[in-house]
Amino acid sequence: MSKRIEVRDLNVYYSKFRAVEGVSLTIEPRSITAFIGPSGCGKSTFLRTLNRMHEVIPGARVEGEVLIDGDDLYGPGVDPVLVRRQVGMVFQRPNPFPTMSIKENVLAGVKLNNRRISKSDADDLVEKSLRGANLWNEVKDRLDRPGSGLSGGQQQRLCIARAIAVSPDILLMDEPCSALDPISTLAIEDLMEELKKEYTIVIVTHNMQQASRVSDKTAFFNIAGTGQPGKLIEYDDTNTIFTQPNVQATEDYVSGRFG
């Protein structure tokens, strides 16, 4: 399952402070979209509004619409808990639950959605998810060991397995490789290429090479200065953004002149 995301004139506020201003864009299903931009430009904040995770911070709110296959995430009566079950998220630092084994970690989300799952179904799902995250061969002999005993890259793939185990429509990744070494980063990037066949993937990255390697489309965010809201400057095919951007600021950023 993979769904289209349409954002219409979205503003994000932290109490009175406007963090993101007037973002409109459409993200196609079965594609990878990268958000790039300097620190503090609101790209992570914007990413979090796509599964309402920004609401974890008291005082955070949005104006505007986020449509997932036409359904407004912020419509009346929409439960953020259910939104998050459809829109999975992988974080900057790998965060498997330290008190759970590898297997329990993979099943953590499933147990929330559907408490009763037979043992054989559970085993199948664990294998399928771990294979999907390219981790199965490395951990199949130690599924009952703690997830925190894995390397950073393995932990991050475990988190991806945990996210895809609930079969979401969309997968959000907030700088998923920034805490990883180059080899693990490559493993995650290969994995994204695989996952793209089934999911809409949105990734925030500080690494412009990564954006150009993995993404189909790229959105460049920027801020005019401290205390100013972040804005979407340019959104286009990755190739266009990195070779012939329309806006001067984009060219300055991707060519390394600032940021």
Partner 1 sequence: MTTQTARPKPVIRLGDRVFARSTLIAGSLILVALAAVAIFLIVEAIPALGADPKELKGSPSSFWTYVGPLAFGTVWAAFLALLIAVPLATGIALFISHYAPRRLAQGLAYVIDLLAAVPSVVFGLWGIKVLAPAVQPVYAWLTDNLGWFPLFAGPVSGTGRTILTVAIVLAVMILPIITAMAREVFLQTPKLHEEAALALGATRWEMVRMAVIPFGRSGLVSASILGLGRALGETMAVAMVLSPSTVISFVLLQSENPNTIASNIALNFPEAHGTGVNVLIATGLILFVITFAVNFIARAIVARRKEFSGAN
Applying CB under 8 A, which residues contact partner 1? 51, 53, 56, 81-85, 88-89, 91, 93, 95-101, 108-109, 112-113, 145-146, 148-149, 159, 162-163, 166
95 vs 240, which CB is nearer to partner 1? 95
State in angstroms the smallest separation of the CB of 108 from partner 1: 6
Report residue 174: phi and psi, to 5°: -100, 95
State in angstroms the smallest separation of the CB of 94 from partner 1: 9
12 vs 53, which CB is nearer to partner 1? 53
Within 8 A by CB and 6+ apart from 223, the residues are: 38, 40, 41, 42, 229, 230, 231
State in angstroms the smallest separation of the CB of 112 from partner 1: 5
Q: What type of residue is 119?
A: K
Counting beta carbons within 10 angstroms of the beta carbon of residue 52, is it exposed (0 to 12), middle (13 to 18) or buried (19 or more)? buried
Please name every residue paired with 8 in a beta bridge, in sequence order, or none if there are none.
65
Q: What is the CA 102 to chain-centroid distance, rounded?
A: 21
Question: How many Cβ atoms sit within 10 Å of the Cβ of residue 45?
Answer: 22
State in angstroms the smallest separation of the CB of 6 from partner 1: 22
State in angstroms the smallest separation of the CB of 171 from partner 1: 11
CB 36 within 8 A of CB 205: yes
State in angstroms the smallest separation of the CB of 47 from partner 1: 11
State in angstroms the smallest separation of the CB of 224 from partner 1: 29
Within 8 A by CB and 6+ apart from 21, the residues are: 11, 229, 230, 231
188 vs 223, which CB is nearer to partner 1? 188
27 vs 106, which CB is nearer to partner 1? 106
What are the strands, taking DSSP E only, across 108-239? 170-174, 200-204, 217-223, 230-237
55 vs 251, which CB is nearer to partner 1? 55
161 vs 254, which CB is nearer to partner 1? 161
Say which residue the tokens 């349409």 belong to: 6
34 vs 47, which CB is nearer to partner 1? 47
> Cα separations (Å) of 71 from 88, 116, 164, 235?
17, 29, 21, 23
Question: What is the spatial distance between Cα 203 and Cα 160, in angstroms, rounded to a whole number?
Answer: 13
